[in-house]
Structure 1
Amino acid sequence: MFTKVLIPYDFSDDAEYIIRCLKNIPRIREVILVHVTRSLYLVSSPERENPEADYARLRLEKVRDLIEMPRSKVRIIVEEITGGEISDAVIRVAEREQVSLILMGRRGRGVIETILLGSTAWDILRFCPSSLLLIHPPENVSEFSPGVRCPDIFTRALVCTDFSEPDIETLLTDILPLVSSVDLFHVVSKGDTDEEINRSVMEAEERLKSIVISCPEKSIPVRTHVRIGDAADEIIRFSEKEDISLIVVKSTGTRGFVHKIIGGTTEAIARNAKKPLFILRRSE
């Protein structure tokens, strides 16, 4: 899953912090740093030079030289656009390069801010041929200092499921071998009576147990949890209480659990959770 990683780079502190976290993501063979800049001309032409693009390329080259991953190839791409959204350009590059993962921060300027605050977040999940890993940089400015390392991501994963198709366990093939333990999590958010809610809880517990039994990585400890309430609130509360290192969800769900980012559960998690969020692309 992590063979080819694309990082939308806007030269913010958050983007620089994401570069540090590359060391904690195994199996990367190629990193693509992408900066999108708007052309000075209505129609792009090889004969016309854009000084902003040249400057961005020089800055990206300096960033590339700072990446200490001797076994991985690092490339830079400066994508010029004459119109449209920056996130659309990122999607085009991701499709053209056939990347397996987009890695980015929660805050920042340009594409990062656009993706998290605009409707293009849903476009990326629907149309981009890759999964999305959001790493939330520290709130404290002092933690951005060069000596502060990015925490380990793949230690204790909180895998959230709403039991919709495709099954969450079918999307975890590349993640399970990397984590030390897994917490399977389901939130019962509907029910008109106590009896109906209790029945939903019992059914969820049985379904989670069946997932554990079918888990291919038998050596990894797997715990199951069922909560009642708002899905995003319960996921965030559990992740903070139990010191989860990574929250894992699907990009879509037929019953609305992670149906979309804007206005949905995943958007709430992306804005408010302090843990990295892995959004798995739905299998075709």
Structure 2
Amino acid sequence: MFDKIIVVSEVSNASSEMVKCIKSLRSLGAEECLLIQCFNPQDVDAGVSSYLTSIFNENLKNQSTMLAEQGFTVKTQIISGNIKNEINRIAQDDQYSLIVVGAEKHSIVGSLFLGGIAYDILYGSTKPILVIKDSNPEQPTEDTKDLMPHILFPTDFSKNADVAFEQIKEMVKNGVKKVTIFHIQDESKINPYLLHRLVEFNEVDNGRLQKLKDELLSLCDVEVDILIRYGAPTTEIIKHVEEENIPLIVMGTQGRGFIKEIFLGSVSHNMVRHASASVLLIPGNRK
């Protein structure tokens, strides 16, 4: 499923904690890992650049050891220049199936990670992207962390969501034990003119959710919950994630790269920015 992955590293506690979560991907077939350190030498002077390079090499060495202990075949690389284009070029040319980034906001060199490199990668990628969150990066643990015991799949029944659901099915085949399929009746689209039809909408959409549930149950022994809520999609998803302590959200989004103008303000964007759970974004097949 995700046999070859790119992991975008930083020098931070959260980045090391991110690496501990990546072992979960072994159950999805991940074997090869390219560990990339991003660096723009134009941001610092020559003396600092040389010093940072030595730090980056040491960081890559430590994290590659952690990944090797998890069973991955690991290569490392420091890249500079146009980070977004370079990472996406490598992913495309060398047929990597997933890009993994961390949700750390501040690095040792002061960058706003989710405001810079991570979002640049999101906007340009045609590959699935896993954004790994850590709720408490300042208190690292020794153990690896499992992202797969419970997955939340928010769906609006769109073609993009259908593409993401195909990935959900593969994840279930590879050992995911619980999936919650979640649909939110968007208050902004229903209230006030269609509010009188809410019961009708719920009945129709419950039938759609049940069909998706039956598809998953036909694959293997998996626990599947279906859920409908009324409100703002972002608010309802975040609320449910926190109530149930769900570690991973899987969502469909725009194909052919995440278009910046569309991604900004979308539910996918809000999940990456605000949800406590990690987020796996699956690009659709938009033509």
TM-score if structure 1 supplies the norm length? 0.81
CA distance in 1, matches of 2:166, 2:6: 23
1:117 aligned onto 2:120: no
Q: Which residue of 2 aligns with 1:186?
A: 183
The reply to whether residue 228 of structure 1 matches residue 230 of structure 2 is yes
In the TM superposition, residue 159 of structure 1 has moved relative to its aligned partner by: 0.9
Between the aligned partners of 1:203 and 1:61, the Cα distance in structure 2 is: 53
What is aligned with 1:214?
215
Q: What is the aligned partner in structure 2 of residue 173 from structure 1? A: 169
Identity %: 21
Q: Any gaps of 5 or more consecutive residues in structure 1?
A: 41-49, 254-258
The equivalent of 1:44 in structure 2 is none
Q: CA deviation at 1:13?
A: 1.4
- Equivalent of residue 156 in structure 2, options 154, 157, 162: 162
How far the C-alpha of 1:126 sits from its partner, in A, is 5.7
Q: Which position in structure 2 is the counterpart of 1:274?
A: 276
CA deviation string 1:225-256 (max 9, x = no partner): 11111101111111121232321111239xxx
Measure the CA separation in 1 of the matches of 2:284 and 2:179.
Answer: 20
Cross-structure match for 1:11: 11
Distance 1:169 1:236, change over 3 A: same
The aligned counterpart of 1:77 is 77
Which residue identity does 1:108 align to in structure 2?
A: K
**TM-score of the pair, normalised by structure 2:** 0.80
For 1:167-225, what per-residue CA distance to the aligned partner results, in whole angstroms no more than 9, with x for missing partners? 14223232112211111100110212322222222221111112222334242121111
- Tell me how far apart the structure 2 counterparts of residues 5 and 109 of structure 1 sit (CA, whole Å): 24
The verdict on how the C-alpha distance between 1:270 and 1:150 changes in structure 2, with shifts beyond 3 A counting, is farther
- 2:8/2:102 contact within 8 Å kept: no
Q: Offset at 1:80? A: 2.6
Q: Is residue 188–residue 228 contact of structure 1 (8 Å, CA) maintained in 2? A: yes
Structure 2 CA distance for aligned equivalents of residues 220 and 92 of structure 1: 37
**Residues matched between the structures, number:** 264
Regions of 4+ moved over 4 Å:
109-115
Instruction: Choose the corresponding residue for 1:136, options 133, 136, 155.
Output: 133
| Partner of residue 241 from structure 1, selected from 227, 237, 243 | 243
Give the residue type in structure 1 aligned to 2:154: C
1:205 corresponds to: 206
Where 2:30 maps in the other structure, the secondary structure is coil
For structure 2, the 5+ residue unaligned runs are 43-48, 256-260
Which amino acid counterpart does residue 61 of structure 1 have in structure 2? K
Range 268-277 or range 102-111, more displaced: 102-111
For the residue of structure 1 that corresponds to 2:240, the secondary structure is helix
Q: Which has the higher helix share?
A: 2
In structure 1, C-alpha distance between the alignment counterparts of 2:110 and 2:36, rounded to whole Å: 12
> Which stretch of structure 1 is more off in the superposition, 182-191 or 52-61?
52-61
Q: What is residue 263 of structure 1 aligned with on the other side?
A: 265
2:14–2:137 contact (8 Å) kept in structure 1: no
Q: Is the 8 A contact 1:157 1:182 kept in 2?
A: yes
Q: Deviations over 1:101-122 (max 9, x none)?
A: 111211234799666325973x
